[in-house]
Chain A
Amino acid sequence: MTTKARSSIDVKYLTTVGFTADFGGRGFHLPTDIAVRSDGHVFVMSRSSHTATPGLRIGECDLEHSFHGEFGSHGTGEGQFIKPTALAIDGRHHLYAADDKLNRITEFDARNNLVRTWGETGDKPGQINGPSGLAFDRQGSLLVVDHLNHRVQKFTPDGRYISQFGSQGQRRGQFNYPWGICVGPDGRIYVADWRNDRVQCFAPDGEFVCMYGKPGNGEGEFNRPSDVAVGPDGSIFVADWMNQRVQVFDSDWRFQTSLRGQATLSPWATEYLAANADEQRARESFQPVIEVDTDDPHEVSARIESYFWDPVAVEVDEEGRLYVLETNRHRFQVYETRS
């Protein structure tokens, strides 16, 4: 199916990768972020529930549905996490993961071995409180959304403070519990300004450039956007979290289309059903999309399995493929996008 609405951007559903795995193994559990390596390997951070701590880990897979393993676990030790939030990958294929409870960043090498952990709690320059988004700029510096301090800080990959921008508020350049972040192909920094229901764009030096969006559920309106991604052609994808959709814009913020999700069964899911004949049989009469009797997008998503349910993170790879990670469905959907 191709989605094209007065749009210069074609968005075509490709596949779904995922499976509920709340105690580890092939699949994810309540994931919060996704990162795509240039060799096509995909990393998914499963935050998991308060009690199902074995579910917390970083899973590694690819678009061919191969599962390459997992690392990281629940705890306060080196390489462990309590409330992990965000992932980013640098040019050396090192993976960085943030934890908004422990207020620290953990670095793994290209073989997923622990390199170091850094971070100090506080609100002074270089200290962090609730890191919720990570991205590398074109100079190789790590941008950290320091969301409880309502700012973005720039660090060297090994944690030395460089600079910061932003403060709490509603004016331009200010934030209200920001969440996700990305760097566009032109080096501009995009931040999901979560509780201001908008996305803000900054120059590489942190200078305010523009902002887009207002509260609501219409086109170009957001309800708690959690993440933003920019494609190689400048197309902008916003995880419109509470509206349970992804909105697509061109590089000038002209609305293109809105995605609600169209997941299909992944091979991992298919294999599970094949091994559980009673469920497979019961699913034969299953109607994936029903006419719902509620307007609440969260409830609609709960009732329709193929729709996004808490689309928390978006990523675009070098080939322009869009990845939409859903916390409550333990999977990500992949779309081909083309201008």
Chain B
Amino acid sequence: MVTKPAATETQLMSHLLRRAGFGGTREEIDRFTDAGYEATVDHLLSPPSVESMPQDIIRRYHVDQSDLRIQPATGSNWIYRMVTTDAPLLEKITLFWHRVFATGQTKLIQGKVIMTQLEMFRKLGLGNYRDLLLGLSKDPAMLMWLDNQDNHNGAINENYGREILELFSMGVGNYTEEDIYECSRAFTGWTIANEPYNAQKMRNNTARPYGYIGWQFKYDDSDHDHGDKTFLGETGDFNGEEIVDIICKQPATARFIARHLYHHFVADELPVPQWPHLPPRDPEAIEIMADAYFNSDYNIGEVLRTTFNSDFFKAEATRNARIKSPVEVVVGSLRLSGGYDWPTDDVYDANASCGFMGQGLLAPPSVEGWQGGEDWVSTGSMMQRVNYASKVLGDTSRPGVRKILDSLKPTAGEGDAAALVDASLDNLGYLELGDETRQEIVDFAAAQLAEAENLSGAARTAAIEQTIISVLQLAVATREFQLA
């Protein structure tokens, strides 16, 4: 597969940073390798800094990223965060929960309420799952997304009650239709403030007269069903909090969340609708993760710590076993290329590119979010992925690209094509290519460098620079770059 021994410390670190973040630059990988693997896991889970580009600066230049009404604004704002954050795992787990607890502007219209939901994921996403599920149940965007404002005492709407079991915690096959009904009764009265007007504005898709109004959770006790409910074998006058308690202690919940985490952080799983019928790719890993869930009192961060430090995560079969999501392609490319030290309209292009590749942020295709895995790749999306990475990493005006270019010039100048290609791959986050692919790029580089030798002065320098850029572009156009 590769020219270097498998699973060196550097390769493992590169693997970890791709999964727990959006990939590392060569300098980051080297620095974390020196710090040690487990120390890096600790660092990622408890980052000393969570800074990213300040919102005041973003809002001043992109005024539409303050009211956050439309998708180009919301998606771009999140791209800024992902590209510039000092805490990439925090964004990766936010992206994870956005995928599992999908809500979309297609229905909710105003993006701000989903951005507020994402902030909740940032705050709770690596913590206790009960807190998160309760936060989700009180989240205005989720309540409106699943119509819980229409769930009244005596007039039950089962939408949220069904999805919290089917999509957000246990998965199909682990509860009955009666459980759904009883669960829904427990969430009666969970709505938002000023619901009639806010819901009407949403339905009419109107920002008139004065823009949208941010939503706020409201519990209406007078509309809550206080009767006894029997849910998953337990009976009582349950409200939503007790329902969440009961859900969180189910083994099915632990396995379901573990399988989602495995799919996002370890290796591509089957599409979720197939889970009730087909076993996990690695049942033993799921059990280890489920045990960590219970042993840590439902702590997601601890489940991830167990995962990242496990043999199954570090295994050769796991490295490069996931197809990058579009957001990983875009954000990973931008973190390598740099150029986001100050607001730039380029961010809107980055956001749109995610959509062209099939992952419009805040615009999941359904309540099930994105399936991921092989679903990410089609003829059209593959073209978008390759073109985007190639464009960004071929842009010498970007400081990260310029830095790589300058560092490779001495090697290229010596005419050693193999050394140039290997150094280029290292600068792309220690990208591992198959032997055949690597050799083709080496042959290309050798031919280009030989032609450059026939030139002199500025023409030779330009030819060498172009060779380096072409090597970088070819490297990110490979199948391997599409894998995490």
The distance from the CB of A137 to the nearest CB of chain B, in whole angstroms, is 25
Q: A290-B216, A329-B210 are in contact. Are A51 and B70 (CB under 8 A)?
A: yes
Taking the complex as formed, is A78 at the interface, i.e. its CB lies under 8 A from any CB of chain B?
no
Taking the complex as formed, is B296 at the interface, i.e. its CB lies under 8 A from any CB of chain A?
no
The residue from A48, A83, A293, A309 contacting B211, defined by CB atoms under 8 A apart: A309
Taking the complex as formed, is B348 at the interface, i.e. its CB lies under 8 A from any CB of chain A?
yes
Q: A282-B199, A299-B214, A305-B210 are in contact. Are A224 and B56 (CB under 8 A)?
A: yes
Contacting pair B208 A282 (CB below 8 A): no
Contacting pair A32 B208 (CB below 8 A): no
CB-defined contacts of A32 to chain B, threshold 8 Å: 63
Which stretch from A5-13, A201-209, A272-280 is at the chain B interface? A272-280
Q: Provide the bound-state CA to CA distance between A278 and B76, in Å.
A: 33
Contacting pair A279 B206 (CB below 8 A): yes
The distance from the CB of A24 to the nearest CB of chain B, in whole angstroms, is 14
Most buried by A among B201, B210, B217: B210
Residue of B nearest to A310 (CB): B66
CB-defined contacts of A236 to chain B, threshold 8 Å: none
Q: A83-B61, A282-B199 are in contact. Are A290 and B193 (CB under 8 A)?
A: yes
Contacting pair B197 A329 (CB below 8 A): no
User: What is the interface of chain A mostly: helix, strand, loop, or mixed?
Assistant: loop
Taking the complex as formed, is A47 at the interface, i.e. its CB lies under 8 A from any CB of chain B?
yes
Residues from 242 to 297 in A contacting B, C-beta threshold 8 Å:
242, 263, 265-266, 268-269, 272-273, 276, 278-279, 282-283, 285-287, 290, 292-293
Contacting pair A302 B199 (CB below 8 A): no
Residue of A nearest to B212 (CB): A302
Taking the complex as formed, is A117 at the interface, i.e. its CB lies under 8 A from any CB of chain B?
no
Contacting pair A49 B64 (CB below 8 A): yes
Q: A49-B73, A290-B194, A309-B67 are in contact. Are A20 and B62 (CB under 8 A)?
A: no
Taking the complex as formed, is B40 at the interface, i.e. its CB lies under 8 A from any CB of chain A?
no
CB-defined contacts of B76 to chain A, threshold 8 Å: 50
Contacting pair B216 A50 (CB below 8 A): no
CB-defined contacts of A286 to chain B, threshold 8 Å: 194, 196-197
Q: Provide the bound-state CA to CA distance between A313 and B70, in Å.
A: 23
Q: Provide the B189-211 mask, 1 if CB < 8 A to any CB of A, else 0.
A: 00001101101110010111111
Number of interface residues, chain B, beta carbon within 8 A: 38
Contacting pair B72 A50 (CB below 8 A): yes
CB-defined contacts of B26 to chain A, threshold 8 Å: none
The residue from B63, B72, B196 contacting A285, defined by CB atoms under 8 A apart: B196
CB-defined contacts of A239 to chain B, threshold 8 Å: none
CB-defined contacts of B193 to chain A, threshold 8 Å: 287, 290, 303
The residue from B60, B66, B72, B209 contacting A268, defined by CB atoms under 8 A apart: B209
Contacting pair B56 A242 (CB below 8 A): yes
Taking the complex as formed, is A154 at the interface, i.e. its CB lies under 8 A from any CB of chain B?
no
Q: Provide the bound-state CA to CA distance between A194 and B56, in Å.
A: 10
Q: A47-B63, A49-B63, A330-B211 are in contact. Are A293 and B204 (CB under 8 A)?
A: no
The distance from the CB of B438 to the nearest CB of chain A, in whole angstroms, is 40
Q: Provide the bound-state CA to CA distance between A51 and B355, in Å.
A: 15
Task: Rank and list the top 8 A-B pairs by shortest CB-CB distance, nearest first.
Answer: A302-B214, A269-B209, A49-B64, A282-B200, A328-B67, A303-B214, A286-B197, A282-B197
Residue ranges of A at the interface with B (Cβ–Cβ < 8 Å): 18-20, 22, 30, 32, 47-52, 83, 177, 179, 194-195, 224, 226, 241-242, 263, 265-266, 268-269, 272-273, 276, 278-279, 282-283, 285-287, 290, 292-293, 298-299, 302-305, 309-310, 327-331
